[in-house]
Amino acid sequence: MFLKKTPGPRTVILPDGSILTQADLPEPQTRWVASRKAAVVDAVHYGLLTRDEAIRRYGLTEEELDAWANAFRRHGRNALKITQLQRFRQP
């Protein structure tokens, strides 16, 4: 098995004790659902990916990534669901 050499860690341990690895991250061309958004936010927050790597890899804007991170931090995973956008949007 060949593992691509990457800078930085290959795994991080999340506060709930679960392990997030490079393999757990979504593919670059993906359909965005709340769990995949949360995985990217956690990867950036805990150092598995840098902010710039995430933006470049997934084709996100800085504002989009910031919005995901703020919603996740304030309201949890449910705030990342597109059907819940109105409920958690800031006035």
Give the domain CATH number at 45. 1.10.10.10
Q: Cα(68)–Cα(71) distance, rounded to whole angstroms?
A: 5
- For the question of whether the overall pTM of this predicted structure is more than 0.85, the answer is no
Q: How many domains does the chain have?
A: 1
Residue predicted with more confidence, 56 or 84: 56
How many CB atoms sit inside 10 A of residue 71's CB?
A: 23
| 3-state percent breakdown (helix, strand, coil) of the chain, nearest 5 | 55, 5, 40
In a domain, 84, yes or no: yes
In a domain, 47, yes or no: yes
Domain carrying residue 46: 26-88
In a domain, 68, yes or no: yes
On whether the CB atoms of residues 6 and 22 are closer than 8 A, the answer is: yes
In a domain, 11, yes or no: no
What does pLDDT average to over the chain? Answer: 87
Question: Looking at the predicted structure, is the pLDDT value of residue 4 above 60?
Answer: yes
Closest to 41 measured CA to CA, from 14, 3, 4, 9: 14
Question: Looking at the predicted structure, is the pLDDT value of residue 42 above 90?
Answer: yes
What are 19's strand-pairing partners?
Answer: 13
Question: Looking at the predicted structure, is the pLDDT value of residue 22 above 60?
Answer: yes
In a domain, 20, yes or no: no
